[in-house]
Structure 1
Amino acid sequence: MLIEIPAVLDAAGIAEVRGVIDEGEWVDGNVTSGHQSALAKHNTQLVEASPAARKAGGLILDALGRTPLFIAAALPHSIYPPLFNRYQGGQAFGNHVDNAVRIQRGSNFRIRSDLSATLFLEDPESYDGGELLIEHNFGTQAVKLPAGHMVLYPASSVHRVAPVTRGRRTASFFWLQSMVRDTESRQLLFGLDTAIQQVAQTLGHSDETVIRMTGIYHNLLRKWTDL
């Protein structure tokens, strides 16, 4: 399931995050790479443990908590602290699959990476290339979103970033562990939740049908939750 989540950050939020990270220390992006990724990855990355990364990451986590579509789609249990990368001058990231388990250096924090997320922080008109290319059952989908918009997709997907041939692509990326491990179950819950919200707009949240549907949703969530 690939879901575009608009306006995670508004213009003020983008400016605040960029004001923090643009003043931070950027290093070779392979500091967080596994063996496979290191062979294909060519970019720069904000130092993970830096004050700038922690502050900007906190701003993004706060924004995600105010984004109902993200919560409904991801059913997040744990979120890896957001990281930040840049591509320019032909830099790219070849085909790879994200690590199944992400461990934060210097801590006991670790997650199973069920979902990956990329939050775009640069206007798409300001750079050429840089599409996030995600392979799925129906082919390869190219994603290049406005600043402040995010894409959520299975961490098990083969994906890559096309070379940036003009300008600079800046983004935040991170992984999360969902309360519902199984992808198909999570998709069914998201579809049911979406249908409930649509029906409730017409009938109202106190309608008996809406209440029954909501009960089914929560019983399925209770059945499939993996905590």
Structure 2
Amino acid sequence: MVIIKQLLSEAQVTSFRDSLNHVPWLDGKTTAMGMASSVKQNAQANPDDDKVKQLTNQLLGIFGANPKLVSAALPHRIFPPAFNRYTTGETYGFHVDAAIMRMPNSQDVLRSDMSMTTFLSDPDTYQGGELVIQTEFGEQRFKGQAGDAILYPSSSLHKVTPVTKGQRLAAITWMQSLVPNGAIRETLYQLDQSIQALLQNPHIDREELDRLHHIYHNLIRQNTQV
């Protein structure tokens, strides 16, 4: 799991929230696949609405321009983000995301390797609504600041606890990675983060950095599926 602090700026969060106040919303059950529909109680912005499409494209542009996100996910395809709203009493029980998703208005499909939640509500404006992810180390709970995002394996069981007060807004999306093996993808991410940190050190020899870059890109060549 990778937490991306302030994927959206404060101004961007405000703009998204203001825009979402003026779009049509649907029952979230209509967009859930398989068994997930029986545990989903929320609302989703109508993906066919022109304003929602505009917000989706804007968010996709932000995703593609974020170095940490690209480093962690190495995305090949990104599903158009969906905007979810939870009000008092609404929740999304434990579920696993569908392994294969059909891209909207297309015959193309996406294998969901990574899921990502981008928080749009300030955590002190609602109670409950935690994102809970089951991991080999036990349940991990997240309630990010507005603008923060968390990237996690789509294969994991996860849920959103009931909102008991206020309103929780978030954007969710799924990504097919160029590197399908999660362990290798994690290793590549850690290597890239180390390289980026070393780039900030003026005392590091350029030849050493070139050697690390050589290793990193050759590992990607060996493990990429396109």
Q: State whether TM-score is above 0.5.
A: yes
- Residue number in structure 2 paired with 1:115: 114
What is the aligned partner in structure 2 of residue 73 from structure 1? 72
Q: In structure 2, list runs of 5 or more residues that go unmatched.
A: none
Q: In structure 2, what is the equivalent of residue 209 of structure 1?
A: 208
Q: Secondary structure at the match of 2:41?
A: coil
The TM-score, its normalising length taken from structure 1, stands at 0.96
Match of 1:131 in 2: 130
| Cα distance, 1:162 vs structure 2 | 0.3
Separation in 2 of the partners of 1:69 and 1:106?
29
104-113 or 179-188: bigger deviation: 104-113
What's the counterpart of residue 220 of structure 2?
221
Q: Quick check: 1:120–1:150 contact (8 Å CA) kept in 2?
A: yes
**Mapping of residues 57-206 of structure 1, within 5 Å:** 57-203=56-202
Q: Which secondary structure does the structure 1 equivalent of 2:220 belong to?
A: helix
Q: 1:110 to 1:207 in 2, by over 3 A?
A: same
Give the counterpart letter for 1:45 in structure 2: Q
Structure 1 runs not aligned, ≥5 long: none
Report SS of the residue matched to 1:7: coil
Alignment root-mean-square deviation, CA: 1.3
Runs of 4+ in structure 1 deviating by more than 3 angstroms, as ranges, are: 203-206
AA at the equivalent of 1:138:
F
Q: Cα offset for 1:34?
A: 1.4
The residue aligned with 2:53 is: 54
Query: 1:123-170 CA deviation, whole Å, 9 max, x = no partner?
Result: 000000000000111111001101111000000000000000000000
Residues 42 and 84 of structure 2 are in contact (CA less than 8 Å); yes or no, is this contact kept in structure 1?
yes
**Structure 2 counterpart of 1:118, which letter?**
T
TM-score by length of 2: 0.96
Q: Structure 1 residue 105: deviation in Å?
A: 4.0
Q: Distance in 2 between matches of 1:211 and 1:205?
A: 11
Give the Cα–Cα distance (whole angstroms) in 2 for the partners of residues 30 and 10 of structure 1.
30
Q: Which residue of 2 aligns with 1:18?
A: 17
Q: Please state whether the residue corresponding to 1:135 is helix, strand or coil.
A: strand
Whole-angstrom CA distance in 1 between matches of 2:40 and 2:204? 48
- Provide the aligned length of Structure 1 versus Structure 2: 226
Counterpart-to-counterpart distance in 1, 2:212 and 2:4: 24
Q: How far does residue 103 in structure 1 lie from its aligned partner after superposition? A: 1.0
